[in-house]
Amino acid sequence: MLKNLMTGIFLWALFVQPQVFAQSTITVQANKPGAEISPTMWGVFFEDINFAADGGIYAELVKNRSFKFPDPLMGWKVPFRDSIRVINSRIDEKDHRYLRLPSLKSTQLNYIQNQGFRGMGIHGGESYRLVLGSRVAEGNNLSLLVELLNENGDPISKTQLSGLTTNWDKKEVVFEATATSAKANLRISLQGKGAVDFNYVSLFPVNTFKNRPNGMRADLAELLNGLNPGFLRFPGGCIVEGHHLDLRYQWKKTVGDLDERELIINRWNTEFMHRHTPDYYQSFGLGFFEYFVLSEDLGAEPLPILNCGMACQYNTGELAPLDEMEVYIQDALDLIEFANGDTSSKWGKLRADMGHPEPFNLKYVGIGNEQWGHQYLERYDLIAAAVRAKYPDIQLVTGSGPSADGDRFDYLWKELKGRQADLVDEHYYKDPNWFFNNARRYDSYERGGLKVFAGEYASHVRNENIKEATSSNCWLAALSEAAYMTGLERNADVVHMASYAPLFAHVDAWQWRPDLIWFDNLKAVATPNYYVQQLYSTHSGTNVLPVSADGEIVAGQDSLYASASLDKNTGRIYLKVVNASKEAKELVVNFTGLKPAAKEALLTELAENDLTKFNTLDQPENIIPQKDKAALKGTKLSLMLKPQSFVLVDVAGKK
Ligand code: AHR
């Protein structure tokens, strides 16, 4: 009997007794808007790493389209190597490489076949545009059979191209794919007796982002659009610096005719030998003009970063002599003219000739990436002085070295004060604990001085033994970033820009992880980190609101992190709360001074019990935002925070 009673009590305790949760109260002072939040606060960092540009967002499907790779046939399959000729006509001292495809003695068709970037992503039912730079070298009535082949070599699309002449010209044909393939190839076969020369073979989906010619892969650009980014930083990253100065990023070589853009090796080709990517080059089809157009299409401020006369200090660290800095200074001045100048100016005219007579309204220029030491400052000063003198309204972004602290960092911060500079670019790739423990990082920064651009950051979880490419973008990493970002928002008077890095990675061709967005040739997946960024960037607000618990800012006590903002234009209040503990928590939020315009608050929640969980291309919805509502009682809101969760609370207040 007693035993039965005890069992009954035990079961009651287990199933009937209400669970007791730790309760916390926080106060959001809804009627005390503080520092303004810069419209540029949450942006994106773009670098051509992990096949982000060629093979990624740049929608070109042909790799090595002008045969300019050091191995002219890299990316190309030819059935009879001996029959193909690679010709380099140096008619005007420049390389003009082309391929000669002759017919065979037999009745068999000779062809060239492009393998794309680890295959081509072809969608059944979609249209593709082939552009061929070609001429007839020999013979009459020649035509070309153009086919898309799936991974088994079966045609999934066919078309004919005729009317070839003995003059070089660009022929265009649009055709539809009848089936989908993630690893398709493009085959061009010669019909008739003779030979045809090719200097350019390009294949794009007709459907690009905003239907731009030479445009961006729509699904990847739409993901960027979903972030409503305040700025687009480009082109990197270390890619700005180069292993040595010859291989630095030179924007002038990335504008003008596509054929004229000078290909160079991508530094990430050889940077990590354990992730060697021998077929990684920069075609610059996505060059500075396209970056500006993309910024405009995204409604983001363009933020170009320029080389400052220094190669990557982790590589050669080559320096331009101080008395040979003119070329770097001129690059900066000319870039501003290219972006903003009158169409009668040299570079403004080029912008207009490329199809954009209106200025791009460039406001920011970054000088140098992760440089350090007095060598950086000496070079920086020369460029900054020239830019300030000619364009006093341009905001200058300086580097602070490759890490978030230490001698190099401290030295630059100290030296930069009082110099011609506006924003200091800080980079940190740290473990999740660092992010949780540094939510107060900017609380003690000097006010009213240089602003911070948190230009590259990501929480790095050590998990090399996990095979899935996207695994390092696990929930622990994203949760720690969400916690940390409360500190960025709270300090919006100091931090004016922030961007996660890197942005993109191809699952079959990456060098660096974690990354914000992963993709293959057909699909893309947003990581939990992406959703964290998105909840901040799409609910930014115009002013910081004070948030406290027991009179203290909320930055880790009881494993809670919180920040809030007000959108003065709409009256909406956005509260971001992270519960980093393994336990659920009851949270009472008191919005003091709130004049509610609705009885309910809208909630968006990211939560996951398994901190190692992540999204994949096949399971993209393991961790995604969930919507809910909660009733407001007067100015109070009671929330049940799930373990390890990030919640956005959206409250409508009267304007
Ligand atoms: O984001 C990847 C690399 O990290 C960037 O190129 C560089 O700036 C940093 O070291």
Instruction: Identify the CATH number of the domain in which residue 609 sits.
Output: 2.60.40.1180
Q: Provide the annotated active-site residues.
A: 370
Same domain (yes/no): 403, 437: yes
| Ligand 1 binding pocket includes 295 (Cβ within 6 Å) | no
The per-residue pLDDT for 465 is: 58
156 belongs to a structural domain: yes
Whether residue 456 has its Cβ less than 6 Å from ligand 1 = yes
Candidate from 238, 275, 397, 426 with most ligand 1 atoms within 8 A of CB, to mutate: 238
Q: Which of 48, 49, 397, 460 to mutate to test the pocket of ligand 1 (most atoms within 8 A of CB)?
A: 49
From ligand 1's centre to the CA of 343, what distance in Å? Answer: 35
- Number of domains the chain contains: 3
Q: How far is the CA of 238 from the centre of ligand 1 (A)?
A: 5
- 247 has pLDDT over 70: yes
Confidence of residue 567 (pLDDT cuts 50, 70, 90): very high
489 and 576 fall within a common domain: no
Give the model's pLDDT for residue 20: 59
Using CA atoms, how far residue 466 sits from 170, 474, 514, 530, in Å, is 47, 11, 13, 21
Q: Give tens-digit pLDDT for 336-377.
A: 999 999 999 999 999 999 999 999 999 999 999 999 999 999
Are 448 and 573 within one domain?
no
- Residue 506 domain flag: yes
Q: Give per-residue pLDDT as tens, 111-145.
A: 999 999 999 999 999 999 999 999 999 999 999 99
pLDDT of residue 412: 98
What is the model's pLDDT at position 466? 66
8 A C-beta contact, residue 620 and residue 614: no
484 in the same domain as 430: yes
**pLDDT > 70: what percent of the chain?**
96
Closest CA to 650 of 558, 560, 577: 577
Q: Residue 67: inside a domain, yes or no?
A: no
Q: Is 463 contained in some domain? A: yes
The confidence score (pLDDT) of residue 23 equals 87
- Would the pLDDT of 11 be above 50? no
Q: Is 236 in the pocket of ligand 1 (CB under 6 A)?
A: yes
Atom number in ligand 1 closest to CA 501? 1
Is 322 among the domain residues? Answer: no
- Considering 508, 532, 556, which residue would you say is the last residue of a domain? 532
**310 and 438 part of one domain:** yes
Q: Where are the alpha helices (DSSP H) in 302-441?
A: 326-340, 346-353, 374-390, 407-416, 432-437
Type of residue at 203: L
**421 in the same domain as 281:** yes
My answer on whether 390 and 492 are in the same domain is yes
pLDDT band at 273 (very low <50, low <70, confident <90, very high): confident
The band of 30, judged by pLDDT with boundaries at 50, 70 and 90, is very high
Asked whether residue 403 falls in the same domain as residue 447, the answer is yes
Residue 605 Cβ contacting ligand 1 at under 6 Å:
no
State which residues form the domain around 576. Answer: 3-37+544-652
Distance 370 CA to ligand 1 centre (A): 8
CA dist., res. 546 & res. 276, Å (int)? 49
Q: Is 369 in the pocket of ligand 1 (CB under 6 A)?
A: yes
Structure confidence by residue, pLDDT tens digits, 165-178:
999 999 999 999 99
Does the CA dihedral 180-185-186-191 come out positive or negative? negative
pLDDT value at 279 more than 70: yes
What's the CATH number where 460 sits? Answer: 3.20.20.80
Q: Is 505 in the pocket of ligand 1 (CB under 6 A)?
A: no
Q: pLDDT tens across 592-626, in order?
A: 999 999 999 999 999 999 999 999 999 999 999 99
Going by alpha carbons, the residue nearest to atom 8 of ligand 1 is 237
Q: Are residues 506 and 635 in the same domain?
A: no
CA distance 364 to 505: 26
pLDDT at 274: 84
Token couple for 417: 């004060």
Which atom of ligand 1 lies closest to the CA of 45?
Answer: 1
Taking the centre of ligand 1 as the mean of its atom positions, its distance from the CA of residue 529, in whole angstroms, is 17
Asked whether residue 432 falls in the same domain as residue 500, the answer is: yes
Burial classification of residue 411, based on how many CB atoms lie within 10 Å of its CB (0-12 exposed, 13-18 middle, 19 or more buried): middle
Ligand 1 site, residue 266, Cβ cutoff 6 A: no
Residue 336 lies in a domain: no
Does one domain contain both 486 and 565? Answer: no
pLDDT grade for 5, boundaries at 50, 70 and 90: very low
Dist CA 296 CA 32 (whole Å): 34
Residue 296 CB-density burial (10 A; 0-12 exposed, 13-18 middle, 19+ buried): middle
In terms of domains, do 181 and 223 share one?
Answer: no
- What are the backbone dihedrals phi and psi of residue 616, each rounded to the nearest 5 degrees, phi first? -130, 170
Mean pLDDT score across all residues of the chain: 95
Question: Could you give phi then psi for residue 107, rounded to 5 degrees?
Answer: -85, -5
312 lines ligand 1 (CB under 6 A): no
